Structure 1
């Protein structure tokens, strides 16, 4: 098979890229390990994604936003951070135009499966796309003229450009010869929805308690997604609890901040591993989405960065195709890498440093945690800069 581009991975970033390439005239083959039925109707996986205003604009531009269920786009008004047993709170209030942020809320919360569904709905009708599902990439051979992708079913695809969009554990990244900085936090993330007595006021909470971290993502006024991060043994103990016991455990951790609670969904678990590729391009290859950067969930920036990478690369490929230039030219891929690297590297390493500090329960670290929160709260320019990162909007 001969094609212009092979996209490995039909997750939201890969599908967004396919949609963004619509009208380019480029032939695209999508290679996905899962079945076509699975990507065509993604199941609820417990994850809620915090979308910035920048991501909303990109999703509207490419038609994804219009596919989201109207009643399942939840406003994220403001956010608060607490550390340990301290009653001090770092507060990121609802943005105001006079503060330099043109936004009425920090962002939006949307279920991951709804984003995947919207991306598929927009990508599926795109012309010149071949769907190759239920297969994986076995080997990639690259030379000056083309790349050859060998699939697990024995087929071979000859292409001008290979794009890895196949998760933070990307085999395609490895096949392209790109190494990555990876950090296993030695923890498990548990996600589940709860109903509760008191209003969450559409406020997100990040609670860096000792021994575990609890994030509260407000959906409906009395419906909140809980994200618990704990070491593997503690996570096993939580998974062994009944729904009622788990709800009581969260109530105690929150000191009944939301009143009595009830678990209303299945509990999903994920390993906590952060990844940042050392390069985002290679000879006839590029990385987008989690294959490029797999963020710690504390910033909720994962899909935002993935969407930006897909749209940024697609724009460059569209321009090259329109001018009949080489879509795999080193200069094009290096320009994409520079832009995305400038955006992601400071955020990735800054997040890693913050998480390392706020999950360190040693006495000196506890004192430093409290000092950092108080210092940040007392520096409006710093809070504004962080809020700009959260909203994706700049003055």
Structure 2
């Protein structure tokens, strides 16, 4: 089974990349261990994705955005950052940016469903579902991929999109710095008494972090971050008691909360691949960079990275060039590292500061928020970053 490009991983990054090459004339395969039914109608995983305007434009080009139902899309009009018991909030909005919204919130489930719908009848694309990858090997001539069911695939280029713990990356010999943070996120959908106004909140309370992401109507996605053992105990509560606990931890700012879906638990880890490309291979999505979710930019960065690689490949294919040329892959790596490094570094610094419970750190993080509020150019710069990446 010979292909031009084999993509390992049928998550959003892998599906978007395959769709980005729809007009390239290349023969593609996406390998995904989940069965086809789970790709076509993925289960709810509780994750809500904060999409920037750039990401929305990308999904529109891919033919996925228009497949979303109106109820799938919630406007994100502003964001507020709170620290401890202070009533002060650092605010970010779209004022002066030419749009009334910072972005949109759409569930990961809906994005995956619409991306799969966009590619399932794509000419020149095979979706090899229900099987994983056993081994991969690349040489200067080709990539060889042996599937778990024994089939052998060959390709001019191998693209890994198989998570921040990528087995393909490991087999390619690419080292990655993985930081298992010892904390977990508890994610669930809640209904509440008061209107959120389309405002997202990130509250760095002492001992925990709670985010509320505004959904359609009087609903939000509650994201609570705690040490992993504490999260597991909360996840074992029944829905009524969990709703009471979330209401308490959020200071009843939206009134009483009731859990309507979930909870889902995700151990937190960040990752950074030492290289984003190798001989006849490239990494996209979380296989390249696994972001901490606090700034909500992991998905947007992954979508941007796959678009960069797909554009370079499509241009090479159009002129009859080598789609896996070392120079092409180096150009992709350089561009994506330049886009990812500042976000990755800044996010990790933010997490380190706002999870440090020492008295000096508590004083410092409040001072940082106050300083940000006094510097309009900083707030506007962050707003542009939130809207564009």
TM-score interval w.r.t. the shorter chain?
A: over 0.9
| Contact 2:284/2:305 (8 A) holds in 1 | yes
1:179 positional shift: 1.3
1:107 paired with 2:103, answer yes
Identify unmatched segments of 5+ residues in structure 2. Answer: none
User: What is the distance in 2 between the residues matched to 1:247 and 1:49?
Assistant: 22
Which of these residues, 152, 158, 161, is aligned with residue 156 of structure 1?
Answer: 152
Structure 1 CA distance for aligned equivalents of residues 128 and 247 of structure 2: 46
Matched residue, 1:378: 374
Aligned to 2:184: 188
Alignment match of 2:343 (pick from 334, 341, 347): 347
- Listed one character per residue, the Cα deviations across residues 239-276 of structure 1 (whole Å, up to 9, x for unaligned) are 12221111111211222110111111121111101112
1:144 Cα offset (Å)? 1.4
2: CA distance between counterparts of 1:295 and 1:362? 25
Please give the alpha-carbon distance, in whole angstroms, between the structure 2 residues aligned to 1:35 and 1:71. 27
How many angstroms apart in 1 are the aligned matches of 2:293 and 2:199? 17
Give a deviation string over 1:161-194, Cα, whole Å, max 9, x none. Answer: 0000111111111112211121111111111011
Q: Where do residues 52-131 of structure 1 align in structure 2 (5 Å cutoff)?
A: 52-93=52-93, 95-96=94-95, 99=96, 101-131=97-127
Deviation at 1:84, TM superposition (A): 1.2
Partner of 2:6: 6
1:369 equivalent in structure 2: 365
Q: Equivalent residue of 1:276, what SS?
A: strand
- Contact in 2 for aligned 1:181/1:277 (Cα 8 Å): yes
* Deviation of the 1:12 alpha carbon: 0.7
1:142 aligns with 2:138: yes
Distance in 1 separating the partners of 2:8 and 2:232: 33
SS in 2 for 1:266: strand
What secondary structure sits across from 2:367 in the alignment?
A: helix
Note if contact 2:210-2:250 (Cα within 8 Å) is conserved in structure 1.
Answer: no
Say how many residue pairs are matched: 389
2 CA distance for matches of 1:182 and 1:38? 28
Q: Does 1:294 pair with 2:290?
A: yes
Asked if residue 326 in structure 1 is aligned to residue 307 in structure 2, the reply is: no
> 2: CA distance between counterparts of 1:31 and 1:220?
34
| Structure 1 position 113, deviation (Å) | 0.5
TM-score by length of structure 2 reads: 0.98
Which runs of 5 or more structure 1 residues have no equivalent in the other structure? none
Note if 1:168 corresponds to 2:154.
no
Check conservation: 1:150, 1:156, Cα contact below 8 A: yes
Distance in 2 between the 1:128 and 1:218 partners?
Answer: 39
The answer as to whether partners of 1:170 and 1:291 remain within 8 angstroms in 2 is: yes
- Give me the CA root mean square deviation: 1.1
Q: Distance in 2 between matches of 1:185 and 1:39?
A: 30
Q: Deviation digits for residues 7-64 of structure 1, max 9, x if unmatched?
A: 0001111011111101211111111111111111111110000000000111111211
Q: Is the 8 A contact 2:209 2:226 kept in 1?
A: yes
8 Å Cα contact 1:201/1:221 also seen in 2: no
> Which whole-Å CA distance do the structure 2 matches of 1:177 and 1:104 have between them?
46
Post-superposition shift, 1:221? 3.5
CA contact (8 A) 1:312 1:336 kept: yes
Task: List structure 1 runs of 4+ shifted beyond 4 angstroms.
Answer: none
What is the distance in 2 between the residues matched to 1:297 and 1:278? 20
Distance 1:51 1:58 in 2: 10
Give distance in 2, aligned partners of 1:30 and 1:322.
22
Pair 122,352 (structure 1): closer, same or farther in 2 beyond 3 Å: same
Match of 1:241 in 2: 237
Quote the residue 1:20 is aligned against.
20
Q: Which residue of 1 aligns with 2:198?
A: 202
